[in-house]
Structure 1
Amino acid sequence: MNENDDLSPGPHLLRVDGLEQRYHVYGSGPVCLAVPGGPGVDWEYLRAPALEEFLTVVYVEPLGTGGSQRLPTHPDGYTRARITRSLAALLDRLSLERVFLLGHSHGGFVAQHFALHHPGRLHGLVLYESAPVTGPEHQAEAATRVGEFVARNAAHPELPAALAGLHAAGTVTDDEEITSALRALMPVYFAHFWSRESEFGPLRERVRCTYISPLDEHGVPDRIDDREALAFLTVPALVVVGRYDVVCGPRWARELHALIPGSRLAVLAESGHFGHLEEPTVFADAVRAFVRSVPVRVLDGSTEGNGR
């Protein structure tokens, strides 16, 4: 049992960096912060029980999402720098010197930023469906990948509705509308959603999203280009990608792997954007092998293994 009450199992709410932050704790082992994507998608979709068998997973609800407090500038201002500050403050409140950090999708963008600015706070970094850059190049690659999805599913009667949801997600600015769009487009984010709808349909029905803009507090787009900086990243890193991901697919995973010195790459052969749901055992085995490979620094400066 963890002696830190703030790391006891279940939901928690702390005031960090002047704002209320909600998080959820499950599992046992070294602590791993898990940051969901979107931005704005509720944390529950990211829950991965297979990881909780060997990690104490702290699922963070980023500022502006779910039970965490919104910024005064909402829906603007949720930059990577702002979220990084809140994560660092959370670690301080939890009295955690170093942790593993897993970021999914937009959470991966945040995790990269955190690792580049606070490498001393991390044992290791898991970039799960992330990319080193956003903007026109990223959008063009996503369009190509969506085209491949359409070709694979051209005969499915629900394809037009999924594509309509994908289009709507880029135009709506309301919480209910963005949630409806996310539910509609979700098949595009899986490798084989319709053939496994009995498994993934319930998630589709309950997932929720808060609209968060891509602008900073001054109305300026929060552009991302970490290519130059990642070449100097010193944190041990694992890059995980689904072969069929249309958002942050294999091209970006290979680029991250090439950029980050000493990184590992795991490609999930039958997954899209949600490999922890489509191939949970393969996903967890890749993370477990990575965690075991990274010496965990303890408070006295010595190291110990992760042999679980």
Structure 2
Amino acid sequence: MTVVRPYVGRIAGPAERTLLVVHGGPDWDHSYLLDPLREWTGERQVLLPDLRGCGRSPGGLPPDQYTPDAVVGDLLALLDDLPVGRVDLLGFSYGGLLAQRLALAAPERFRCLVVASSSVLPVPADAWDDWPERAERRAAEARVWAEGRLDGPELTRAAALAGAPANIWREAALPRYLEVLARVRFTAEWLGPFRAGLLPPARPDDAARRLAATGLPVRLLHGRQDMVFPAALAEEAARLIPGARAAILDDAGHMAHIDQPAAWLAALARQLA
């Protein structure tokens, strides 16, 4: 598998307090996670790589080069090139699944794993049966994917915009989220392998048991009203993994860092302390 040197967004701070952040999507970039992390300028070094084929990172690879394990290889090579020792690791949404794989591949490289707006456990098929509002809020995005009028980055962007009312819980936070989305460099390089059935699952098998066996501190950071990964799964994972802790933020959806930026950053700081 070819190693890709990703473009890396950086928030300046001491190298000994480095946080590596893995974004989701995957056909997004890191920029939607810059706020509120930017408030740590001077306090922590935050590294926010764009995944291969995403944002400003190299793309145009063969479809079989877009895999979770390929990303793990890229990120380990990135860490090898940096003058840092062990770092904290945060994965957001799909990036939370990738971060689990990364932590399992090289637990000695990390001080702590934070799984944010993601899940260690599989999402049950009936997870949303008692929440009709979720179907209502997600209907517009489902139509974008089903209509077939758009393709490529235009499709990825349109789906993100249509999904905004589902990913943001507080109506007052929606304008800010739309401003954030306007700056994202959407791509569609992972969409092709996904449609072709070439994209392997990102969530590691038996992740809770395997993460527990590493001894790596596991933290879970979640919005109570997340409509992608149920908050209850974060709480369950915290019970299953010895020493794990979950922070569940009320009045916050999938993009909990936008819904409740101050509370999200404070909870993350406590988890990394």
TM-score, shorter chain, exceeding 0.5 = yes
How far did residue 215 of structure 1 move? 4.6
The letter of the residue matching 1:24 is G
| Residue 5 of structure 2 is aligned to residue 28 of structure 1 | no
In terms of fraction of residues, the more helix-rich structure is 2
Kindly state the Cα deviation for residue 214 of structure 1 after the two structures are TM-superposed. 8.2
Q: Which residue of 1 aligns with 2:144?
A: 168
Secondary structure class of the residue paired with 2:89: strand
Following superposition, the deviation at residue 171 of structure 1 comes to 7.8
Q: Determine helix, strand or coil for the equivalent of 2:72.
A: helix
Counterparts of 2:42 and 2:250, CA distance in 1: 23
Structure 1 207/221 Cα, relative in aligned 2: closer, same or farther at 3 Å?
Answer: closer
Aligned residue type for 1:238: R
Q: 1:61 aligns with which of 50, 56, 60?
A: 50
Aligned to 1:131: 119
The whole-number CA distance in structure 2 between the counterparts of 1:138 and 1:113 is: 21
Alignment equivalent of 1:107, drawn from 89, 92, 95: 95
SS at match of 1:70: coil
Alpha-carbon shift at residue 220 of structure 1 (Å): 3.9
Superposition pairs of residues 191-270 of structure 1, within 5 angstroms: 191-192=169-170, 194-211=171-188, 212-213=190-191, 215=193, 219-223=197-201, 224=203, 225=205, 226-270=207-251
Which residue does the alignment assign to 2:252?
271
Whether the 8 Å CA contact 1:268–1:283 is kept in 2: the answer is yes
* Higher Rg of the two aligned structures: 1
Q: After the TM superposition, which segments of 4 or more aligned residues of structure 1 sit over 6 Å from their partners?
A: none
- Is the Cα–Cα contact under 8 Å of residues 27 and 186 in structure 2 kept in the other structure? yes
Distance 1:52 1:214 in 2: 37
One-letter amino acid of the counterpart of residue 250, structure 2: A
Residue 148 (structure 1) aligned with residue 133 (structure 2): yes
Q: What's the offset of the Cα at 1:146? A: 6.4
* Unmatched segments (≥5 aa) in structure 1: 1-16, 293-308
- 3-state SS, counterpart of residue 32 of structure 1: strand
Aligned position for 1:291: 272
Amino acid at match of 1:49: R
**Structure 1 residue 21, shift from structure 2 partner:** 1.3
Once structures 1 and 2 are overlaid, which stretch shifts more, 80-89 or 248-257?
248-257
In structure 2, the gaps of 5 or more residues are none
Q: Distance in 2 between matches of 1:22 and 1:120?
A: 24
Q: Which amino acid aligns with 2:5?
A: E
The offset of 1:111, in angstroms, is: 0.6
> Structure 1 pair 88/20, CA: closer, same or farther in 2 (3 Å)?
closer
Mapped partners of 2:130, 2:78: distance in 1: 36
Alignment map for 1:37-48 (pairs within 5 Å) = 37-47=24-34, 48=37
SS at match of 1:41: coil
Question: What are the superposed Cα offsets for residues 127-150 of structure 1, whole Å, 9 maximum, x if unpaired?
Answer: 10111245xx45643x54863335
1:185 aligns with 2:174: no
**Separation in 2, partners of 1:171, 1:124:** 42
Distance 2:131 2:199 in 1: 24
Between the aligned partners of 2:192 and 2:116, the Cα distance in structure 1 is 20
Cα distance, 1:49 vs. partner? 1.9
Change (3 A) 1:229 1:213: farther
Please, what TM-score do these two structures have when normalized by structure 2? 0.85
Give, as a single letter, the amino acid of the residue that structure 2 aligns with 1:242: G
Checking the alignment, whether the CA contact within 8 Å between 2:13 and 2:45 is kept in structure 1 is yes
Separation in 2 of the partners of 1:70 and 1:267? 36
Output the CA distance in 1 between the equivalents of 2:234 and 2:153.
Answer: 30
TM-score (norm 1): 0.76
Is the Cα contact below 8 Å between 1:98 and 1:120 reproduced in 2? yes
User: Higher relative contact order at CA 8 Å, sep ≥6: structure 1 or structure 2?
Assistant: 2
Deviation (angstroms), 1:263: 1.0
1:281 equivalent among 262, 265, 273? 262
